Structure 1
Amino acid sequence: MNDWKTQSWFGRDVAAGTYLNAELEITESYSGRNITIPIRVLRGDAPGPTLMVTGALHGDELNGTGAIRSLISDPDWGPDRGNVIMIPVLNVLGFERHSRYLPDRRDLNRCFPGHAAGSMATRMARVIFDAVVSRCDYGIDLHTAAVRRTNYPNARADFDNPQCLRLATAFGAGVILDNRGPKGSFRREATAAGCPTIVVEGGEVWKVEPSVLECMARGIVNVLKELDMLDGEPEVPDNQVKLKTTKWVRAERGGFMDMHVSPGSTVVTGQPLATNSSLLQEDQNRLIAPFDGIVIGMTTLPAVQPGEPVIHLGRLSSPKTARRVRRQSQADEIQRTTQQHLSTNIQVTPPG
């Protein structure tokens, strides 16, 4: 790497205080044409760390793409110190097919750090790892829930890694999960390679949801402030919830679900979560909260079969904690607005 005034990124020189729009070649198409990932490199005027921010590692998860685009659309936005590597769509082959996966059905987020002589997916992962991850000091990887599900915005980090926990706390999503990620995942392998990386989940696939976008954009700016890449203090909620245990509450019978909670709701043990019945409102049965908790994810498809996941709960320590979390989330404008917006995507009714 050259001195700070000029650095080489993706084969081109970039002066301090400027930005570069670049293309990273990751593979070839069936016709032999190069497949590239668009990248923006933003450089501060003064030295500092290098942060990568990635979206659409799963090609149908677009809230992160929207958040990154919202920031880079401002020609005056960028770090005062250090570098920010912004990648709106990491899995461009999945993105072009509106698909989570690559054309060969592999999950790119299980293929890191990759292999130069492996499958297409592992070769792509190796190129990304060598060209981007190896040159970065920190990372934020933006995701949504999987298809037919939605997530209340939450950061996921390895609590045993102080730098990951620092990033997740500074991001300010309000809810933080202790989760290092599965083997081969981008965040786990990047962290193991010396680039502490967190995941932020929020919203649904195939959409850019304004409140989730706002939460993610604020979080990126917060992390830059935490790393002293921008002036100012991170704008984070008071007493963010740190969760070590989560559980999917699953359907016991097939039928049609009436939901009684929405993403971000807090619940207490025994509280009704959803009521399941036939299409003619017969044979009703009810899903009950197994512990005090917060709804961090749920299905958006009301028709279920036995065993299908319905509500994803994070365990809270007591009803008192649940009440405190509810007050704190309502006190933070972004969390409050996100709860309101996400609840409109699900029909929520009081238990009868």
Structure 2
Amino acid sequence: MENKDDLHILGQTIKLGKSETVTFEVAKLHTRNTLEVPIIIERSKKPGPTVLITAGIHGDEINGVEIVRQIIAKGINKPKIGTTICVPVINVFGFLNMDREFPDGRDLNRVFPGTNNGSLASRVAYFVMTEIVPHVDFAMDFHTGGADRFNSAQVRIEKDDPKLEELAHVFGAPFIYYSKNLNKSFRNACSIAGVPLLLFEGGKSFNIDSNITNTGVNGAKRILNHFGMLNSKFKVSEPKEKPIVIEDSKWLRAKFSGMFKPTVKINSYVTKDDILGNITDPYGTFNHFVKAPNSGYIFNVNESPIIYQGDAIFHISTALKDDKSTVTESV
């Protein structure tokens, strides 16, 4: 007789109290080598919630992968009750090639829930949504900023979702950013499936930042502790400061091409007309100071030394929760 507490993934049965690593065969390479995605499953002897922890949807977002790696390496994923499912690298193709996308040129985070007979990226999305997500009560997905844009540690949720808002405060990142679920994203697909998901953003591509990884790991510990799943050997510290909730924001774009040097620090609060950085040319004949269009928090900075006109260089808040004032100044 089948036990209702048994977990069935990829034809394998994982019972309470067991640890298993199962693999999903993504595809065979043109060399006929098999490419697989490891899925690390840890189950307590006591039933409880099932939490999914993922990273590497974009293959160049190494910082997120490092957060999940640390969660596994430190044994944080071994629950006191319930089950954790960790997938450190969903887009293993992109991770191998140090590329954001799949070999077919598709962004995995724009093809969910996927199809069983679609593109390679779509098939991986379909596997995640049919083999893993149906077992899950809650998910955390770890990302980083794209290209040279460095994101403050932040949790992204949709506005007017009290359950996710509560969990975002439990996680304890410096910022909570109201962000709509993008069509065909993993977050949106989980929402439709009834699985609440916290999306963590922090750092930039091709980079591991210890402050960002510490924030991500500590946030995951707080969430597991909130669900009663964290092993008692791990200490949980409260965030140093209450998260700042950003209701609205704007991107500040470069008015000129040139050599770019930001002077404001990430996470800083600036006032209107504060100097945030400058754009120069290689010949010493041009120097443009970039000024804050409004007062707010700087929670993304472009760290590329060379920029082009129209490039996003700063992300600044324009409205905070419980702050009724709004910003209308043009950039």
Same topology, TM > 0.5? yes
1:244 is matched with 247
Give, in whole Å, the separation in 2 of the partners of 1:77 and 1:119.
32
* Aligned AA (2:30): Y
2:102 is matched with 102
CA displacement, residues 233-263 of structure 1 (integer Å, 9 cap, x when unaligned): 7723443111111211111111212322122
Give, in whole Å, the separation in 2 of the partners of 1:127 and 1:101.
17
2:47 is matched with 47
Alpha carbons 1:153, 1:203 under 8 Å: kept: yes
Alpha carbons 2:246, 2:320 under 8 Å: kept: no
- Shift of the alpha carbon at 1:317? 5.1
**Structure 1: tracts of 5 or more residues without a match:** 322-352
- Shift of the alpha carbon at 1:75? 4.7
1:35 is matched with 35
- Shift of the alpha carbon at 1:107? 0.1
* Aligned AA (1:51): V
CA displacement, residues 107-166 of structure 1 (integer Å, 9 cap, x when unaligned): 000010011122221111101111111211111110011012211111101122223222
SS at 2:82 equivalent: strand
Q: 2:295 aligns with which of 292, 314, 318?
A: 292
Give, in whole Å, the separation in 2 of the partners of 1:36 and 1:124.
11
2:79 is matched with 79
Q: 2:315 aligns with which of 312, 325, 330?
A: 312
Alpha carbons 2:300, 2:315 under 8 Å: kept: yes
2:155 is matched with 155
* Aligned AA (1:239): K
Give, in whole Å, the separation in 1 of the partners of 2:24 and 2:308.
43
2:168 is matched with 168
- Shift of the alpha carbon at 1:284? 1.9
2:259 is matched with 256
- Shift of the alpha carbon at 1:194? 0.6
Structure 1 residues 136, 234: CA separation in 2 closer, same or farther (over 3 Å shift)?
farther
Structure 1 residues 222, 234: CA separation in 2 closer, same or farther (over 3 Å shift)?
farther
SS at 1:99 equivalent: coil
> What pairs up with 1:168-207 in 2 under 5 angstroms?
168-207=168-207
Give, in whole Å, the separation in 2 of the partners of 1:128 and 1:317.
35
CA displacement, residues 185-244 of structure 1 (integer Å, 9 cap, x when unaligned): 111111111111121011121222222111111111111112222368772344311111
* Aligned AA (1:111): V
Structure 1 residues 78, 211: CA separation in 2 closer, same or farther (over 3 Å shift)?
same
* Aligned AA (1:82): G
Give, in whole Å, the separation in 2 of the partners of 1:60 and 1:9.
27
Structure 1 residues 103, 162: CA separation in 2 closer, same or farther (over 3 Å shift)?
same
Give, in whole Å, the separation in 2 of the partners of 1:145 and 1:87.
20
* Aligned AA (1:295): I
Alpha carbons 2:142, 2:199 under 8 Å: kept: yes
Q: Percent identity?
A: 28
Q: CA RMSD in A?
A: 2.2
Alpha carbons 1:292, 1:317 under 8 Å: kept: no
Give, in whole Å, the separation in 2 of the partners of 1:188 and 1:75.
29
Q: What is the aligned residue count?
A: 319
* Aligned AA (1:251): A
- Shift of the alpha carbon at 1:85? 0.6
1:3 is matched with 4
* Aligned AA (1:309): A
1:301 is matched with 304
Alpha carbons 1:180, 1:187 under 8 Å: kept: no
Higher helix content, 1 or 2: 1
* Aligned AA (2:161): N
Task: Normalising by structure 1, report the TM-score.
Answer: 0.84
**Structure 2: tracts of 5 or more residues without a match:** 325-331
Give, in whole Å, the separation in 1 of the partners of 2:151 and 2:251.
13
Give, in whole Å, the separation in 1 of the partners of 2:260 and 2:115.
44
* Aligned AA (2:98): H
Give, in whole Å, the separation in 1 of the partners of 2:175 and 2:75.
31
CA displacement, residues 275-317 of structure 1 (integer Å, 9 cap, x when unaligned): 1122233222222111211111111112222111111112255
Give, in whole Å, the separation in 1 of the partners of 2:282 and 2:107.
36
Q: 1:278 aligns with which of 253, 262, 281?
A: 281
2:268 is matched with 265
Task: Normalising by structure 2, report the TM-score.
Answer: 0.89
Alpha carbons 1:140, 1:199 under 8 Å: kept: yes
SS at 1:245 equivalent: strand
Give, in whole Å, the separation in 2 of the partners of 1:274 and 1:238.
27
SS at 2:21 equivalent: strand
Alpha carbons 2:297, 2:317 under 8 Å: kept: yes
